[in-house]
């Protein structure tokens, strides 16, 4: 008697069923068994989809080409076609948007970490940058998406929210940084085009956080970063070169830093007080390349304070697709054309 054990069954993007099955005999089960991979089309598929927290039942009538194995002569008898009914049950969870559904997995959707901010975020992918460090840590587990906009303030960022951070992006986002304030803190009497009152700045940050939460992120997955301290001596040199008056002050930037930390407390998100922590170092000016933007050391300093959050995320994600040594070289499709998109085990 031939017994077919279905090990796995899944539908590839071409809507072809792949079945990994084992063929054995009842009398000689302990002596002989072997595994075959079959590429076959379903002759009939019936899918019942109920509401969330229920089961999806997929019943497939598959025609498998089986080889009856003669254990005594150790030779194959004539090939026969056998009709096998497979019932595949998959739990359908509505735990959180970050648990991808099968259709998203088949499209190759990877988890995302989004960096949203001004020029300090935009250039963070440069060599030695904090964004590059995040991408390196999360390689093959999560895409790091840079949404840095040089010269932008929180007012313009709030207006852009629906287009720059759309719901289709956020439903696959597992971590986000919000890093504005350096431009908001411009002095009104010198740079009114960039200036945003500190009260509005705090409100804008909260609006951005709410947008992320509406997209499925939890507060602990959101990190607010204060603007860095401001080196007036070095920035004054930049302003002279550009032929403009000095448009910032470190004391004024400190007000925005405190407002950012308070907004994080009010919204119960994570935060990094970059303005205060950098100035704990007596030579903190080295963290800034021109008095405003981060130097290599400054970027590494910021990464030291972000690293724990990204490492926690990295530990919660599985590597996407099997390692090369786990691929079945004879039947690579059975290993690769399946649901290997990273699953989240909890942050």
Closest CA relative to residue 180, chosen from 103, 159, 100: 159
- Determine contact, residues 28/71, Cβ cutoff 8 Å: yes
The pair of three-digit structure tokens given for residue 76, joined into one six-digit string: 């194959």
Q: How many CB atoms lie within 10 A of CB 169?
A: 14
- The count of C-alpha atoms lying within 13 angstroms of the C-alpha of 132, restricted to the half-sphere facing its C-beta, is 11
Closest CA relative to residue 82, chosen from 1, 149, 138: 1
Helices (H), the chain: 102-106, 119-122, 130-137, 154-164, 167-170, 198-214, 232-242, 250-267, 274-279, 296-316, 332-336
Asked whether the CA dihedral 292, 295, 298, 299 is positive or negative, the reply is positive
Rounded to the nearest angstrom, the gap between the alpha carbon of residue 157 and the centroid of all alpha carbons in its chain is: 21
Marked catalytic residue, from 101, 214, 266, 290: 290
> DSSP letters of 58-125?
EEEEEEEEE--EETTTTEE---EEEEEEEEEEEE---S-TTS--HHHHHTTPPPEEEEEESHHHHGGG
* 339 is known as an active-site residue: no
Marked catalytic residue, from 98, 172, 293, 309: 293
* 290 is known as an active-site residue: yes
* 325 is known as an active-site residue: no
Asked whether the CA dihedral 197, 203, 207, 213 is positive or negative, the reply is positive
- The count of C-alpha atoms lying within 13 angstroms of the C-alpha of 210, restricted to the half-sphere facing its C-beta, is 9
Closest CA relative to residue 11, chosen from 58, 53, 81: 58
- Determine contact, residues 320/340, Cβ cutoff 8 Å: yes
Marked catalytic residue, from 119, 271, 299, 342: 119
For strand 222-225 and strand 173-179, is the pairing parallel, antiparallel, or unpaired? parallel
Q: Annotated catalytic sites, by residue? A: 119, 290, 293
């Amino acid at each position: 008697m031939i017994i077919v054990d279905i090990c796995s069954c899944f539908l590839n993007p071409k809507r072809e069923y792949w079945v990994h099955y084992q063929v054995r005999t009842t009398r000689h089960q302990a002596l002989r068994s072997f595994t075959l991979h079959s590429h076959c089309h379903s002759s009939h598929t019936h899918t019942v989809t109920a509401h969330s927290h229920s089961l999806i039942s997929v019943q497939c009538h598959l025609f498998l080409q089986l080889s009856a194995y003669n254990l005594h002569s150790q030779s194959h008898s004539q090939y026969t076609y056998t009709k096998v009914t497979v019932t595949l049950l998959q739990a359908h969870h509505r735990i959180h948007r970050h648990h991808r559904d099968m259709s998203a997995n088949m499209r190759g959707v990877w988890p995302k970490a989004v960096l949203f901010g001004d020029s300090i975020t935009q250039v963070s992918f440069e060599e030695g940058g904090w964004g590059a460090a995040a991408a390196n840590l999360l390689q093959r587990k999560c895409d790091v998406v840079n949404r840095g906009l040089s010269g932008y303030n929180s007012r313009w960022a709030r207006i852009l929210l629906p287009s720059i951070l759309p719901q289709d992006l956020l439903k696959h986002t597992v971590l986000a940084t919000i890093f504005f304030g350096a431009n908001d803190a411009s002095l009104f009497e010198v740079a009114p085009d960039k200036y945003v009152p500190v009260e509005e700045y705090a409100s804008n940050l909260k609006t951005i956080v709410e947008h992320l939460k509406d997209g499925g992120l939890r507060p602990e997955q959101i990190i607010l970063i204060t603007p860095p301290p401001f080196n007036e001596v070095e920035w004054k040199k930049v302003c002279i070169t550009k032929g403009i008056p000095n448009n910032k002050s470190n004391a004024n930037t400190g007000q925005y830093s405190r407002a950012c930390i308070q907004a994080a407390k009010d919204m119960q998100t994570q935060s990094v007080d970059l303005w205060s922590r950098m100035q704990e170092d007596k030579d903190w000016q080295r963290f800034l390349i021109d008095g405003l933007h981060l130097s290599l050391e400054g970027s590494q300093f910021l990464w030291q304070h972000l690293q724990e959050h990204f490492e926690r995320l990295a530990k919660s994600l599985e590597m996407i697709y099997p390692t090369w040594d786990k691929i079945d070289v004879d039947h690579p499709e059975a290993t690769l054309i399946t649901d290997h998109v990273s699953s989240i085990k909890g942050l």
